[in-house]
Amino acid sequence: MSLALIAALPFIGALLPGLMIRSGKNACALVTGSVTALALLMLGLNAPAVLRGEVVQTRIEWIPSLGLNANFFLDGLGLLFAGLILGIGLLIILYARFYLAKSDPMGQFYTYLMLFQGAMVGIVLSDNILLLLVFWELTSLSSFLLIGYWKHLPEGRQGARMALTVTGGGGLAMIAGMLILGNIVGSYDLSVILENKEMIQASDWYLPALILILLGCFTKSAQFPFHFWLPHAMAAPTPVSAYLHSATMVKAGLFLMARMWPVLAGTPEWFYIVATIGLITMVMAAKIALFKDDLKALLAFSTVSHLGLITMLLGFGTAEAATVAVFHIINHATFKAALFMSAGIVDHEAHTRDLKRLGGLRTLMPITFTIVTIASLSMAGIPPLNGFLSKELMLEEAAHTTWMANPWLIGVLATIGALFSVAYSFRFIAHAFLGPVRSDYPSKPHDPGFGLWAAPALLAGLVILIGLFPMLTAAWLVNAAASAVTGEVIAVKITHWHGLYAPALWMSLAAIGGGLMLMGLHPRLMALWNATPRPEAKRIFDGVVEPFAALAGRIANRLHDGALTRYIAIGVLGIVGVSYYAFATATHSAGTRDLMPIQPVPALGWFALCLATAAIVIYHRQRLLTLVLVGIIGLMVSVGFAYFSAPDLALTQISVEVATIILMLLALNFLPKTTPSESTPTRRTWDGAVAVTAGVAIAVLAFALMTRDQAFSPISEYHITNSKPEGGGTNIVNVILVDFRGYDTFGEIIVLGIAALVIFALTEALLRAGPANDRLLAWTPDQRRAGDRHPMMLVVATRVILPIALMVGFFIFLRGHNEPGGGFIAGLIVAIALVMQYMASGFAWTAARQKIDYHALIACGILVAAATGIGAWFNGLPFLTSAFGYFTIWPLEEFELATALLFDIGVFLTVLGAVMLALASLSRIGLRAGETVNVQPFDIDPSEGRTLNSGEVR
Partner 1 sequence: MEALVSSAIGMMTAAGVYLMLRQRTFPVIVGLTLLTYAVNVFLFTSGRLATNMPAIYGEGAPGYSDPLPQALVLTAIVISFGMTAVIVMMALGAFLEAGHDKVDMNDEDTPTDGGQK
- Taking CB under 8 A as the criterion, the residue among 253, 308, 315, 820 binding partner 1 is 820
- State in angstroms the smallest separation of the CB of 578 from partner 1: 16
- Taking CB under 8 A as the criterion, the residue among 634, 727, 728, 842 binding partner 1 is 634
Q: Which 826-845 residues touch partner 1, going by CB under 8 A?
A: 828
Categorise residue 876: left if φ over 0, alpha if ψ from -120 to 50, beta otherwise.
Answer: left
C-alpha closest to that of 88 among 12, 13, 148, 33: 33
Give CA–CA dist 290/418, Å, rounded. 12
Selected range binding partner 1 among 233-241, 522-530, 577-585, 665-673, rule: CB under 8 A: 665-673
Q: What is the CA radius of gyration of the chain?
A: 36
Element (H, E) at 775: helix 771-777
- State in angstroms the smallest separation of the CB of 645 from partner 1: 4
- Taking CB under 8 A as the criterion, the residue among 49, 552, 578, 800 binding partner 1 is 552
Torsion sign, CA atoms 456, 461, 464, 470: negative
Q: At what angle do helices 647-668 and 899-928 cross, to 10 degrees?
A: 20
Q: Which 139-168 residues touch partner 1, going by CB under 8 A?
A: 154, 157-158
- State in angstroms the smallest separation of the CB of 771 from partner 1: 6
SS (H, E, C) 354-386: EHHHCCCHHHHCHHHHHHHHHHHHHHHCCCCCH
Paired strand residues for 583: none
Give CA–CA dist 824/865, Å, rounded. 13
Q: Which 578-597 residues touch partner 1, going by CB under 8 A?
A: 593, 595-597
- Taking CB under 8 A as the criterion, the residue among 570, 671, 796, 852 binding partner 1 is 671
Map residues 268-307 to x or -, x wherever contact with partner 1 holds by CB under 8 A. Answer: ----------------------------------------
Contact call for residue 528 and partner 1 (CB under 8 A): no
Q: What is the DSSP string of 194-236?
A: TT-HHHHHHSTTHHHHHHHHHHHHHHHTT-TTSTTHHHHGGGS
CB 286 within 8 A of CB 417: yes
- State in angstroms the smallest separation of the CB of 881 from partner 1: 18
Nearest to partner 1 of 258, 756 (CB atom): 756
- Taking CB under 8 A as the criterion, the residue among 702, 800, 856, 953 binding partner 1 is 702
- State in angstroms the smallest separation of the CB of 534 from partner 1: 24
Map residues 759-778 to x or -, x wherever contact with partner 1 holds by CB under 8 A. Answer: x--xx-xx---xxx--xx--
CA distances, 153 to each of 150, 158, 236, 329, 860 (Å): 6, 9, 10, 32, 43
Contact call for residue 616 and partner 1 (CB under 8 A): yes
Give CA–CA dist 867/227, Å, rounded. 53
Selected range binding partner 1 among 199-207, 473-481, 515-523, 741-749, rule: CB under 8 A: 741-749
Selected range binding partner 1 among 412-420, 479-487, 499-507, 724-732, rule: CB under 8 A: 724-732
- Taking CB under 8 A as the criterion, the residue among 731, 846, 882, 949 binding partner 1 is 731
845 contacts: CB under 8 Å, gap ≥ 6: 933, 934, 935, 936, 937
Contact call for residue 915 and partner 1 (CB under 8 A): yes
Contact call for residue 756 and partner 1 (CB under 8 A): yes
Paired strand residues for 838: none
Contact call for residue 309 and partner 1 (CB under 8 A): no
- Taking CB under 8 A as the criterion, the residue among 94, 285, 314, 733 binding partner 1 is 733
109 contacts: CB under 8 Å, gap ≥ 6: 17, 96, 100, 146, 149, 237
- State in angstroms the smallest separation of the CB of 669 from partner 1: 9
Contact call for residue 647 and partner 1 (CB under 8 A): yes
- State in angstroms the smallest separation of the CB of 608 from partner 1: 10
C-alpha closest to that of 632 among 646, 643, 648, 616: 616
Contact call for residue 748 and partner 1 (CB under 8 A): yes
What amino acid is encoded at 180 in this protein?
A: I
- Taking CB under 8 A as the criterion, the residue among 719, 834, 861, 909 binding partner 1 is 719
- Taking CB under 8 A as the criterion, the residue among 105, 487, 514, 602 binding partner 1 is 602
Selected range binding partner 1 among 72-80, 276-284, 346-354, 716-724, rule: CB under 8 A: 716-724
- Taking CB under 8 A as the criterion, the residue among 623, 789, 799, 855 binding partner 1 is 623
Task: For the chain, report the end-to-end CA distance as a whole number of angstroms.
Answer: 58
Contact call for residue 375 and partner 1 (CB under 8 A): no
Give CA–CA dist 510/520, Å, rounded. 15
| Residues touching partner 1, count (CB under 8 A) | 131
- State in angstroms the smallest separation of the CB of 168 from partner 1: 16
C-alpha closest to that of 160 among 170, 151, 147: 147
Q: Which 883-912 residues touch partner 1, going by CB under 8 A?
A: 911
Q: Quick count: other Cβ atoms within 10 Å of Cβ 707?
A: 13
Q: What is the DSSP string of 226-263?
A: STTHHHHGGGS-HHHHHIIIIISTHHHHHHHHHHHHHH
- Taking CB under 8 A as the criterion, the residue among 2, 26, 707, 950 binding partner 1 is 707
Q: Quick count: other Cβ atoms within 10 Å of Cβ 781?
A: 11
Contact call for residue 235 and partner 1 (CB under 8 A): no
Give CA–CA dist 788/246, Å, rounded. 73
Selected range binding partner 1 among 347-355, 358-366, 555-563, 861-869, rule: CB under 8 A: 555-563
CB 224 within 8 A of CB 277: yes
- State in angstroms the smallest separation of the CB of 775 from partner 1: 5
Contact call for residue 921 and partner 1 (CB under 8 A): yes
Nearest to partner 1 of 154, 186 (CB atom): 154
- State in angstroms the smallest separation of the CB of 551 from partner 1: 8
Q: What are phi and psi of 469, to 5 degrees?
A: -125, 65
- Taking CB under 8 A as the criterion, the residue among 153, 603, 796, 807 binding partner 1 is 603
Element (H, E) at 73: strand 72-74
The number of residues in the chain equals 954
Give CA–CA dist 865/745, Å, rounded. 10
Contact call for residue 656 and partner 1 (CB under 8 A): yes
- Taking CB under 8 A as the criterion, the residue among 113, 341, 609, 857 binding partner 1 is 609
